């Protein structure tokens, strides 16, 4: 139950609403307790032949007034307590989402999307039920149960003790099953996460599934995952389904004892008929707190299990943590320096980059080349601290990148990743994602520079055309050029193009680079690419191989060295020539 501590701020924030809600709930419980007293008076009058029409009418009026009060205050407590639980749900979900936004790339490398979605939906909903209906069940169990027993003691203490004899067995049974229920509910939530991830993965990859005619196989896999989820639920239900019947058994046992012993006391005139009827009414009222006890345990154990899963995420700290020491100057220049830069991905034994020394001056156009897996993308991801490096290895604008506040650091860097992401929104919203205040003219110029304007104008609604999920209606090259236009709208001192032309032909890539000239003025630009022909205009080229910096220099200097770069360049040149010959031959 220690997990519930993280909800304390939300309860403190809603203290006023909670006070009104709990007070109204207490009033409802109190009013319910007076109805058996009124019935007792009416029954006693009837058995003593003292009842009159006026007195019976007054008793009926009292019952109706009490019922009306119950209705009014029940509406109030439901509005306040259930409204509070919904506010807790909203605040917790927002907190979880905001925290996920701060976590590093390495966390999302380990976590799966379906599990995170389950946390934000099923787990948060379980907490909401505990904070709302669980609180009601707790109040009723304690207050209504205690008050009902108090009225029973007032009528006859010895009969009350007899009636309560089976009750300790309910508490013992509840204590026994609570731990098992907690464990089984955790397994239910884990199964739901797997089911959610399976559905998400299949819907996202539906085109691949259809292309390989795997619809039946994937349906069977989803069916098996669903069966596992149902099986986990049934194992949990075997525990939760026991409590209400067991409570009823013990409650009915109490009622049987009261009928036998209480009936005898009534015959002996130890208690009046009205007291006997009222005592049974209070015993019936006690049935709900006993059942609410099981419901409360159910809801609180579910909420605790879900909060434990949520808290595990909230306790995860981002690797790229903020620092307290902030440079006095602002980040307006894009000079970069690395000193013995070494980086290994979490879970890997081999470094992706090792002992990298390089220096880049402000405003330079820099090429980063190498074979697949050489470390090009890794270097591009380390600069905005998407993955974190040890202090003292990477510098930007003369300062260790750890000294720059994360927001300022990332606002100073525009990144075009090799895997473009397109939102299911308009073309305009996608291009202006990083700069929503950009003018239409600026947006058009960015699209033109990315060699995309003509294709946008050919769309049904041009810039207001809605794109499908992840840009499904666009080609790979169009997606890359759209994300390039998005980056060009940002006035940043550093621009990183991480192999973002891999889906366009060489001619288009060269045309785009020519268009970019005016955007690259006074900007430090890093272009990571496997195509070396596009590197001719670079001021300096760094050649990576197996995570190490092997060569550096201009295009002509590297060709003269006849090393890795020259070998890659000549091989690509030969491949292009053979391709041209093959195309010409078909003509």
Both tokens of 73, joined, read: 């205050």
Nearest to 28 by CA among 75, 84, 81: 75
- CA neighbours within 13 Å on the CB side: how many for 447? 22
Query: Largest Cα–Cα distance in the chain?
Result: 122
pLDDT over 80 (residue 112): no
- Cα torsion 380, 382, 384, 387 to 10°: value is 130
Q: In degrees rounded to 5, what are phi and psi of residue 354?
A: -145, 120
Which of 172-186, 349-363, 518-532 has the lowest average pLDDT?
172-186
Residues facing residue 353 across a β-bridge: 343
Q: In degrees rounded to 5, what are phi and psi of residue 478?
A: -65, -40
Give the sign of the dihedral formed by CA 214, CA 216, CA 219, CA 221: negative
Tell me the whole-structure pTM to 2 decimals. 0.72
Helix (H, G, I), strand (E, B) or coil at 80: helix
CA distances in angstroms from 142 to 139, 271, 304, listed in the order given: 5, 27, 20
What local confidence, expressed as pLDDT, does residue 76 receive?
92
Percent of the chain with pLDDT over 70: 92
Both tokens of 132, joined, read: 């709302």
CB under 8 Å to 257, separation ≥6 — which residues?
162, 163, 165
**Rounded distance between C-alpha atoms, residue 261 and residue 302, angstroms:** 40
Q: What is the CATH number of domain 7-314?
A: 1.20.1560.10
pLDDT over 70 (residue 584): no
pLDDT tens-digit series, residues 480-492: 888 888 888 888 8
Question: How would DSSP label each residue in 507-522?
Answer: HHHHHHHHHTHHHHTT
The answer to whether the beta carbons of residues 572 and 580 sit under 8 Å apart is: no
pLDDT over 80 (residue 114): no
Neighbours of 464 (CB within 10 A): 11
What local confidence, expressed as pLDDT, does residue 273 receive?
82
**Rounded distance between C-alpha atoms, residue 13 and residue 321, angstroms:** 29
pLDDT over 60 (residue 320): yes
Ranges of H-type helices in 489-563: 506-515, 517-520, 555-561
What local confidence, expressed as pLDDT, does residue 171 receive?
67
CB under 8 Å to 321, separation ≥6 — which residues?
none
pLDDT over 90 (residue 269): no
pLDDT over 70 (residue 265): yes
Neighbours of 318 (CB within 10 A): 17
Helix (H, G, I), strand (E, B) or coil at 549: strand
Question: How much of the chain is in helix, strand and coil states, percent to nearest 5?
Answer: 65, 10, 25
**Rounded distance between C-alpha atoms, residue 558 and residue 569, angstroms:** 10
What local confidence, expressed as pLDDT, does residue 533 receive?
77
Q: Which residue has the tokens 């045309």?
A: 511
What local confidence, expressed as pLDDT, does residue 8 receive?
83
What local confidence, expressed as pLDDT, does residue 127 receive?
86
Percent of the chain with pLDDT over 90: 2
Neighbours of 304 (CB within 10 A): 20
Question: How would DSSP label each residue in 328-369?
Answer: SS------EEEEEEEE--TT-SS-SEEEEEEEE-TT-EEEEE
Query: CATH topology of 7-314 equal to that of 420-491?
Result: no
Both tokens of 229, joined, read: 């989820």
Altogether, the residues listed in the chain come to a count of: 587
Tell which wins on pLDDT, 264 or 542.
542
What local confidence, expressed as pLDDT, does residue 329 receive?
62
Which of 191-200, 321-330, 331-340, 448-457 has the lowest average pLDDT?
321-330
Both tokens of 127, joined, read: 């907490």
Both tokens of 1, joined, read: 């139950």
pLDDT band (50, 70, 90) for residue 325: low
**Rounded distance between C-alpha atoms, residue 458 and residue 455, angstroms:** 5
pLDDT over 90 (residue 72): yes
pLDDT band (50, 70, 90) for residue 579: low
pLDDT over 60 (residue 344): yes
pLDDT over 80 (residue 66): yes
- Cα radius of gyration rounded to whole Å, the chain: 36
What local confidence, expressed as pLDDT, does residue 75 receive?
92
**Rounded distance between C-alpha atoms, residue 456 and residue 131, angstroms:** 50
Nearest to 135 by CA among 173, 87, 93, 72: 87
pLDDT over 70 (residue 583): no
User: Topology of domain 330-412+493-554, per CATH?
Assistant: Rossmann fold (3.40.50)
CA distances in angstroms from 207 to 111, 201, 222, listed in the order given: 24, 11, 17
Q: Can you identify the CATH homologous superfamily of domain 420-491?
A: P-loop containing nucleotide triphosphate hydrolases (3.40.50.300)
Tell which wins on pLDDT, 242 or 345.
345
CA distances in angstroms from 252 to 153, 286, 362, listed in the order given: 19, 11, 84
pLDDT tens-digit series, residues 361-382: 888 888 888 888 888 888 888 8
Q: What is the mean pLDDT of the chain?
A: 81
**Rounded distance between C-alpha atoms, residue 68 and residue 73, angstroms:** 9
What local confidence, expressed as pLDDT, does residue 582 receive?
60
pLDDT over 90 (residue 68): yes
Neighbours of 44 (CB within 10 A): 17
Residue spans of the domains in the chain: they are: 7-314, 330-412+493-554, 420-491
């Amino acid at each position: 139950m220690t997990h519930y501590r993280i909800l304390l701020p939300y309860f403190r924030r809603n203290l006023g609403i909670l006070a009104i809600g709990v007070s109204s709930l207490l009033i409802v419980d109190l009013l319910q307790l007076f109805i058996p007293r009124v019935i007792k008076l009416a029954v006693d009058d009837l058995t003593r032949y003292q009842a009159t029409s006026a007195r019976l009418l007054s008793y009926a009026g009292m019952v109706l007034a009490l019922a009306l009060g119950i209705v009014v205050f029940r509406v109030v407590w439901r509005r306040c307590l259930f409204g509070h639980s919904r506010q807790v749900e909203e605040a917790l979900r927002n907190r979880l989402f905001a925290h996920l936004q701060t976590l590093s790339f390495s966390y999302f490398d380990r976590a799966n999307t379906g599990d995170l979605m389950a946390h934000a939906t099923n787990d948060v909903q379980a907490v909401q039920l505990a904070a709302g209906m669980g609180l009601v069940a707790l109040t009723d169990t304690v207050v209504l149960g205690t008050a009902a027993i108090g009225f029973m003691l007032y009528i006859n203490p010895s009969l009350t003790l007899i009636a309560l004899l089976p009750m300790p067995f309910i508490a013992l049974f509840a204590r026994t099953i609570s731990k098992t229920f907690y464990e089984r509910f955790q397994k239910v939530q884990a199964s739901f996460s797997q089911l959610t991830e399976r559905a998400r993965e299949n819907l996202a990859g539906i085109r691949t599934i259809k292309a390989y005619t795997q619809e039946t196989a994937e349906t069977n896999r989803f069916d098996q995952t669903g069966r596992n989820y149902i099986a986990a639920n049934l194992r949990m239900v075997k525990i939760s389904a026991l409590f209400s019947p067991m409570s009823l058994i013990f409650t009915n046992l109490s009622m049987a004892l009261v009928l036998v012993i209480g009936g005898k006391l009534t015959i002996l005139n130890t208690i009046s008929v009205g007291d006997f009827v009222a005592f049974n009414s209070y015993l019936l009222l006690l049935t709900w707190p006993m059942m609410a006890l099981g419901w409360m345990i159910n809801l609180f154990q579910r909420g605790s299990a879900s909060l434990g899963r949520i808290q595990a995420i909230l306790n995860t700290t981002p690797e790229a943590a903020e620092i307290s020491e902030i440079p006095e100057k602002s980040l307006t220049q894009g000079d970069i320096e690395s000193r013995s830069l070494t980086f290994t991905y979490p879970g890997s034994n081999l470094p992706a980059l090792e002992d990298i020394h390089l220096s880049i001056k402000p405003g330079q156009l820099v090429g980063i080349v190498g074979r697949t897996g050489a470390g090009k993308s890794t270097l591009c991801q380390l600069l905005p601290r998407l993955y974190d490096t040890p202090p003292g290895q990477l510098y930007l604008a003369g300062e260790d990148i750890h000294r720059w506040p994360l927001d300022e650091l990332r606002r100073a860097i525009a990144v075009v990743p090799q895997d473009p992401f397109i939102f299911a929104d308009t073309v305009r919203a996608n291009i202006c994602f990083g700069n929503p205040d950009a003018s239409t003219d600026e947006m058009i110029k960015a699209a033109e520079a990315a060699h995309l304007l003509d294709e946008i104008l050919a769309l049904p609604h041009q810039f207001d055309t809605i794109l499908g999920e992840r840009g499904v209606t666009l080609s790979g090259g169009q997606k890359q050029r759209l994300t390039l236009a998005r980056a060009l709208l940002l006035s940043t001192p550093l621009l990183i193009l991480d192999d973002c032309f891999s889906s366009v032909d060489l001619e288009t890539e060269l045309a785009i680079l020519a268009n970019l000239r005016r955007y690259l003025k006074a900007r430090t630009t890093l272009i990571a690419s496997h195509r070396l022909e596009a590197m001719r205009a670079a001021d300096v080229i760094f050649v990576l191989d197996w995570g190490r910096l092997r060569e550096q220099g201009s295009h002509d200097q590297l060709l003269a060295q006849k090393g890795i770069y020259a070998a890659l360049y000549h091989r690509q040149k030969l491949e292009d020539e053979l391709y041209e010959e093959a195309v010409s031959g078909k003509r």
